């Protein structure tokens, strides 16, 4: 594979043993975002959410990035959002007139939406199991490739939490209402074969094959025409979010017909060579 798509080392090192905010690494047209609190199973703290939101905003503006990989340090991808912060949110909203106040989305919800709405296609590299809110973070990605020993559960009902709107939509639109009900209403743990069956995982592979499998998909995604990928990703997300805009889809289609990329794609097809897209 081309050098600019080589995955940076993800195994724990001496420096990785010290927990930190999420780490961004950019190699050519590929960005890797790594959760880095292995001692706490990559539990997300408020400062992590702020940093992830900042990173996703940076990647959204960087037109040179054609694929984003999200992963974690250690044996678990993510243990979800810090439960102490949920308790704090409850305290802050537990006022006499709280039920009359308009709903305001949380920083965690906004971070998830920013990830789902990223211009570039995204792959979640599930280096291990995934729990709680981290299951939604992974679901925000376009593709999920995990180790075949991973498991997941969504404990919202066990915690007394009604999940937020777009999280519900993500689960139901990606996995189907039946699977979403099982996960949300029972809070049961499911393992990799079931995660694969319901479509939560696109692939489940032995740990030794994880990087190779992620690399292969990242290479395929980065090789496509970026304007077409961006436009179709947005259109498909809008459809899943029940916000399909016919005029916007038609405009994206018309723009692609005027692009330099379609000329390059058709020419390369006839010349039986690999196209070189410029995103124009």
Q: Give the pLDDT of residue 280.
A: 79
Compute CA distances 234 → 142, 195, 221, 227, whole Å: 11, 25, 15, 11
Q: What is the pLDDT of residues 109-148, one digit of tens each?
A: 999 999 999 999 999 999 999 999 999 999 999 999 999 9
pLDDT exceeds cutoff 60 at 6 = no
- For the domain 3-222, what is the CATH superfamily, name and number? 2-enoyl-CoA Hydratase; Chain A, domain 1 (3.90.226.10)
- The domain spans of the chain are 3-222, 226-271
3-state secondary structure of 7: coil
- Tokens standing for 64? 């040179």
- Tokens standing for 261? 């990329």
- Tokens standing for 8? 């940076």
Q: In terms of DSSP bridges, do strands 151-153 and 190-191 run parallel, antiparallel, or are they unpaired?
A: antiparallel
Q: What is the pLDDT of residues 25-79, one digit of tens each?
A: 999 999 999 999 999 999 999 999 999 999 999 999 999 999 999 999 999 999 9
b/e 240-279 (16+ beta carbons within 10 angstroms → b): bbeeeeeeebeebeeebeebebbebbeeeeeeeeebebee
279: pLDDT confidence band, cut at 50, 70 and 90? confident
Q: What is the pLDDT of residues 178-211, one digit of tens each?
A: 999 999 999 999 999 999 999 999 999 999 999 9
pTM: 0.85
pLDDT exceeds cutoff 60 at 10 = no
> What does pLDDT average to over the chain?
86
Q: What is the pLDDT of residues 209-248, one digit of tens each?
A: 999 999 999 999 999 988 989 888 998 988 888 888 888 8
86: pLDDT confidence band, cut at 50, 70 and 90? low
Q: Give the pLDDT of residue 247.
A: 82
Contact present, 122 and 142 (Cβ < 8 Å): yes
Q: Give the pLDDT of residue 7.
A: 35
């Amino acid at each position: 594979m081309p050098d600019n798509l080589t995955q940076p080392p993800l195994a724990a090192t001496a420096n990785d043993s010290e927990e930190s905010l999420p780490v961004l690494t950019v190699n050519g047209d590929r960005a890797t975002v790594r959760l880095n609190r292995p001692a706490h199973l990559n539990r997300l703290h408020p400062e992590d959410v702020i940093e992830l939101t900042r990173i996703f905003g940076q990647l959204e503006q960087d037109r040179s990035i054609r694929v984003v990989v999200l992963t974690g340090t250690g044996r678990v991808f993510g243990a979800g959002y810090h439960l102490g912060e949920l308790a704090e949110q409850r305290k802050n909203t537990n006022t006499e007139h709280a039920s009359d106040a308009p709903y305001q989305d949380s920083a965690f919800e906004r971070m998830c939406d920013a990830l789902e709405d990223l211009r570039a296609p995204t792959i979640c590299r599930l280096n291990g199991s995934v729990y709680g809110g981290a299951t939604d973070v992974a679901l925000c990605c376009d593709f999920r490739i995990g180790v075949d020993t991973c498991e997941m559960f969504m404990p919202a009902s066990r915690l007394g939490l009604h999940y937020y709107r777009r999280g519900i939509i993500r689960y139901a639109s990606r996995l189907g209402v039946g699977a979403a009900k099982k996960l949300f209403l029972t809070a049961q743990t499911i393992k990799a074969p079931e995660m694969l069956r319901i479509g939560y995982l696109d692939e489940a592979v032995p740990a030794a094959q994880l990087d190779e499998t992620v690399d292969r998909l990242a290479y395929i995604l980065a090789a496509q025409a970026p304007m077409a990928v961006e436009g179709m990703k947005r259109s498909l997300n809008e459809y899943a979010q029940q916000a399909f805009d016919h005029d916007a889809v038609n405009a994206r289609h018309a723009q692609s017909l005027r692009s330099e990329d379609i000329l390059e794609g058709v020419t390369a097809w006839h010349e039986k060579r690999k196209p070189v897209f410029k995103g124009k």
